[in-house]
Structure 1
């Protein structure tokens, strides 16, 4: 028996060596040494040429997006011809706040002094000094200011033009990374081009870089797509030299870190990715050590963020910070469990492991929350519970999100548009096919008694186990599915889902390995030329999508508009010329971000909502649009050392929106029945005879003139000084 077993092993070795030699040629490499180098050299040159073509396609696609975003922005606003104050006003809401820090760093006597002023900043939240680098994700502004100050670019660009074009460049970089990711998954240059055409055809769903350039996600998501590329290459386990492996691991760590550094909501995408890797590990589709290494990258990233953001505890209190070590512990403890023993047994084993992970995560989350006394992200969980119908219908913080169009449910128009371009049907083919194959394979494993002895191979060539060989594709399919669920809850998350749809839909037509695996199950494999069929379908899809995109492109290039907001311009000029440099202003979050950006004056609140103290402050300041007396509002504003109050007619006289106008939100928070409400009031609401403050102050009757004095007014704004 021993001799027989040994002979079997020898024949197996000979078979493997035979296979290797057959790949090189009919004869052994040792017998024909002179002819063996030429095919290798040709294959290497061909591979290099393909990589160069992939890079060219990616760069060309990215450059076109940069050009399109720049021209769209220019034609919409005539940005290059605007006055400086008009350019700054055009950066609405939080965008103006972020730009103000870049502007401060660029115009500071030295970058070091500018950083000191950001670390000890009394302007952003008047009466309370904050560390801007601790509170906000503005390291991209620091990097751009550093580049602008230290390079010759300042000779060719004004600071604000360099800043806006840099955000467009990030968008182009993101599309280039998606093209590279598509090629990495499919091995097809035409698939990369199709991904680009899908992206451009659905630009309104794929990115907001053209209209909202410097939002945090427009910097973070391009780096996230690069991180996805490195994760896929790492999971697939392609053979690399000793010099390439450290490069890949370092690139994975750096891309994860910079993605997390650029966006305050990084924790949710990292959690989503960690859940995907956990699922793949539980399903035995990916080696445990690879998952543990990526989890280690997450932990290093979280700790590095905590340090570089001056002890930002919000990231330590995030779910991903609790889930990652819990998942590592669970996967290690249950690593010897198999999926065999029958469907019921296999299912129960999986459930036990998942429940254990959830319990450990909950305990870790509770421990971190108690240890660091975290409340910064409470509003996010309130929004989620309210979205699911479990939260309070009157909560101020939840309603600000629920009433925002970006956090509504995804509309049917999205599915109509993506179906018209064939994107959604192709994506669903990949999604359904992946889950069907993996589900079928899992059931087979549960029923496979050979798993008890470990005789079943982990990476079989069987078509039913395709995703064990192509775990990179399975990773992106699972991640896109989780992203889709997130997008269904909040339409703004479509910018995370759509790019992944573009990649996977392109892989459906471009992945030769996938086609051969599917056709190999049918009798058509002898009659179908896979590569020719793929090329025809890919070219047809590319042409069709570019034809759909061209009318939008033509309209964008031909329609010329101009920024026009004279009332806001007059307000900013008055503030800059008629108030003291240290004067403080109260008003709406969106407007005050512009006040700080354009004038540098102190503000009492702003649109960055990830702080419990600021949310409470905003709720009190917004009583200016509620039913409050002059005395109540005056003392609330004086609590934050406010000097001037700015009221906006567009908010004060806004028509009822089924509980979603700002005045209605404040009324609900105060327990008052909103004006114009239909149907029976919510429980706990009462009617009040107190008039709305923002309307009553215009008449300046009663006690109003004892507390406030009108200083400036136009058709849109009224500014009152607190006496």
Structure 2
């Protein structure tokens, strides 16, 4: 019986073993099926998100292209009128695209802009280095390929017709289609910014872990479109080509901060996106400075470890180095606060083992913050002195003038323009009426509350070290740990930086407003707003919020859609026609910066000054030209113009009399420095009526005069 029992027992055991194996096999197969189903659903969901992003990109492209067309009736303008529509810096940038596509070969055009003696006559400068013209280079290549392929296929690329303008003006030929250079140019800017909106949708979805977060981001952007971008009015500006790459770069940084184990691939991706952002825009270094400091703030608070900081820092440093090389050694990049900040961050990383010996977390944070601030400023000063570069000195002077009574000619030219003044009160109200500011403030405070609560919980929970309980917040043991929500800590810092920039310089609200839209996506995050109730209740709250935003937001959109304009500038057109017909090709012109860009674009005559005011030498040239609006004697004004080898001066009386605010007429701006001539009659009032004996009036209409030096 024992044997029987043993046999039975053995039999039972084998039976049980086989049964267990069968169960295990079915469970494994079940899990595999579930995994496959999950992967299939995950892939399908991602493809759906991409499809939605593409649809949003197309919608945004159509939105801005429609507004641009309605504002100018661009499709019915002649080639000259379209060029006249690109005022100030826009005309300057477009002129180089025109040079590149009209040259016999691309290399001839490239050589022409790299050895340019028309823009700052008689100097020869590399405008590709100075003006960040890579968008024009890339677009000119694309345009040449587009035209060549269609020519080989014998396909027309544009349609032309005659437009009767009335008012005694001769009819003009107007062409529409990508074969028209101006169309190809602006459509490229619109397509890029449409793509940016698709990235914003994916960004908001990723940040909030909810597709509704992406929808909120896009809706907020559309509802506050006038405060978030100006690409619909000014497509050739540098920000139109650069800012979309900043959005993509911030998404990559966010992805890296959230990754458990980032590697060199992340660094390379960040570097490439940074290069695409820096090459088109000289101001990119300041935006990236705020990003570097925000990432460093996240590191100082010990939300990321050395490895993550090194990955991001390596990407940023590689991007800066590559941009420096591709911009032919642009000194402003080396002497920028951004480069100095990166140097300081590397030093802090190198000193970490030493700083850890301080033991106390709060002391380590304080020392790292002090090292970052002092290191950045000192590095900037040392590099600037060694290279003897003062091109960005005006940036410091502008900020200095905002918080003291300091002012000079150059700072007044900036601060008298409302774009460089403090943010307007109406802007705050507009962002409030669409609920963008209140919602982003709620998100900001909620995230801060959760982070502080987490910090407090960690502080209350002791960690065992050497057999004794020590608070984690008082030790450096957690220094190398990666903690959750690092990407949100970064975005909070970034938001504060963008808000500060926007408050001090109104133009920089174009960074702040889109980031407000991005943070608003977190309203859809279950992690931070799960207290709203179950999914259904949370969704209902979001629907109510979106409806509240739409109340004013749709009114804003309708106001933009209702814009109906038609561009015309007959006085400038007459001026350009006269110059083309009555002056030699090598005649040298001087005048107000915006007008000079148009003269360069439409007549190809040499000019001595232009609107790109970021070079120290150019600022001094412009100051000499603008002496005609000062109270200086005529012989002093003419002496400076002759030293610049000027043949003709374009005089606009509005520059002599207009006053944007108290103390901001051109003669008053000159009074800040030209103390000895205060109280005298401005020379622009004298030369307006009596140009002799130093000038001879050779052209005049109701806006412009052309004065020839005699």
Q: Does 1:138 align with 2:133?
A: yes
Q: Deviations over 1:655-707 (max 9, x none)?
A: 473111223212323126xxxxxxxxxxxxx6444x3222212333xxx5342
Shift of 1:303: 1.5
The correspondence for 1:304, drawn from 322, 326, 339, is 322
Name the residue aligned to 2:525: 511
Shift of 1:451: 7.8
Shift of 1:100: 0.4
Q: Deviations over 1:583-617 (max 9, x none)?
A: 11110111101111111111110111111111111
The correspondence for 2:638, drawn from 631, 634, 637, is 634
2: CA distance, partners of 1:91 / 1:47: 46
Q: Does 1:548 align with 2:548?
A: no
Name the residue aligned to 2:687: 697
CA contact (8 A) 2:434 2:551 kept: no
Name the residue aligned to 1:227: 249
Q: CA 1:323/1:33 → structure 2, altered by over 3 Å: closer, same or farther?
A: same
Shift of 1:36: 1.6
CA contact (8 A) 2:463 2:472 kept: no
Name the residue aligned to 2:199: 177
CA contact (8 A) 1:97 1:597 kept: yes
Q: CA 1:652/1:350 → structure 2, altered by over 3 Å: closer, same or farther?
A: same
SS where residue 311 of structure 1 aligns? coil
1: CA distance, partners of 2:87 / 2:215: 34
TM-score, normalised on structure 1? 0.85
Q: Does 1:664 align with 2:682?
A: no
Shift of 1:387: 1.0
2: CA distance, partners of 1:196 / 1:659: 41
Deviates more, 1:550-559 or 1:303-312: 550-559
Shift of 1:631: 1.4
Q: Does 1:496 align with 2:491?
A: no
Shift of 1:473: 2.0
CA contact (8 A) 1:592 1:605 kept: yes
Number of residue-to-residue matches in the alignment? 653
Name the residue aligned to 1:408: 421
User: Gapped runs of 5+ residues in structure 2?
Assistant: 1-21, 151-155, 158-176, 474-480
Superposition map of 1:184-199 within 5 A: 184-199=206-221
Shift of 1:359: 2.9
CA contact (8 A) 1:339 1:451 kept: no
Q: CA 1:721/1:222 → structure 2, altered by over 3 Å: closer, same or farther?
A: same
- Rg larger in 1 or in 2? 2
Name the residue aligned to 2:579: 575
Name the residue aligned to 2:282: 264
Deviates more, 1:444-453 or 1:482-491: 444-453
1: CA distance, partners of 2:106 / 2:23: 65
Q: CA 1:205/1:98 → structure 2, altered by over 3 Å: closer, same or farther?
A: same
Q: Deviations over 1:226-263 (max 9, x none)?
A: 011111111101579xxxx6654432221111111111
SS where residue 32 of structure 1 aligns? helix
Deviates more, 1:220-229 or 1:324-333: 324-333
CA contact (8 A) 1:58 1:177 kept: yes
2: CA distance, partners of 1:616 / 1:221: 30
Deviates more, 1:405-414 or 1:444-453: 444-453
2: CA distance, partners of 1:120 / 1:35: 69
Q: Does 1:53 align with 2:53?
A: no
Shift of 1:210: 0.7
Q: Does 1:273 align with 2:291?
A: yes
Name the residue aligned to 2:308: 290
Superposition map of 1:308-387 within 5 A: 308-335=326-353, 346-387=361-402
RMSD: 2.6
Name the residue aligned to 2:11: none
1: CA distance, partners of 2:25 / 2:491: 42
2: CA distance, partners of 1:604 / 1:103: 20
CA contact (8 A) 2:344 2:372 kept: yes
Q: CA 1:687/1:358 → structure 2, altered by over 3 Å: closer, same or farther?
A: closer
SS where residue 697 of structure 2 aligns? strand
CA contact (8 A) 2:435 2:548 kept: no
CA contact (8 A) 2:271 2:317 kept: no
Q: Does 1:649 align with 2:662?
A: no
The correspondence for 1:399, drawn from 412, 422, 429, is 412
Name the residue aligned to 1:714: 701
Deviates more, 1:88-97 or 1:351-360: 351-360
Name the residue aligned to 1:8: none
CA contact (8 A) 1:281 1:331 kept: no
1: CA distance, partners of 2:23 / 2:647: 88
2: CA distance, partners of 1:432 / 1:671: 51
Shift of 1:338: 6.2
Q: Deviations over 1:144-170 (max 9, x none)?
A: 111111124782410001111111122
Deviates more, 1:148-157 or 1:710-719: 148-157
SS where residue 123 of structure 1 aligns? coil
Name the residue aligned to 2:463: 450
CA contact (8 A) 2:291 2:494 kept: yes
Deviates more, 1:441-450 or 1:63-72: 441-450
Q: CA 1:655/1:324 → structure 2, altered by over 3 Å: closer, same or farther?
A: closer
Deviates more, 1:154-163 or 1:492-501: 154-163
CA contact (8 A) 2:207 2:521 kept: no
CA contact (8 A) 1:191 1:538 kept: no
Q: CA 1:513/1:374 → structure 2, altered by over 3 Å: closer, same or farther?
A: same
2: CA distance, partners of 1:658 / 1:550: 37
Q: Deviations over 1:607-651 (max 9, x none)?
A: 111111111111111001111222111111011100100000111
1: CA distance, partners of 2:75 / 2:31: 60
Shift of 1:294: 1.2
Name the residue aligned to 1:434: 447
SS where residue 692 of structure 2 aligns? helix
Shift of 1:446: 6.7
Shift of 1:553: 3.5
Superposition map of 1:522-533 within 5 A: 528-529=533-534, 531-533=535-537
2: CA distance, partners of 1:442 / 1:331: 24
Shift of 1:547: 4.7
SS where residue 564 of structure 2 aligns? coil
Shift of 1:219: 1.4
SS where residue 450 of structure 1 aligns? strand
User: Gapped runs of 5+ residues in structure 1?
Assistant: 1-26, 459-465, 673-685
TM-score, normalised on structure 2? 0.87
2: CA distance, partners of 1:656 / 1:97: 24
CA contact (8 A) 1:57 1:193 kept: no
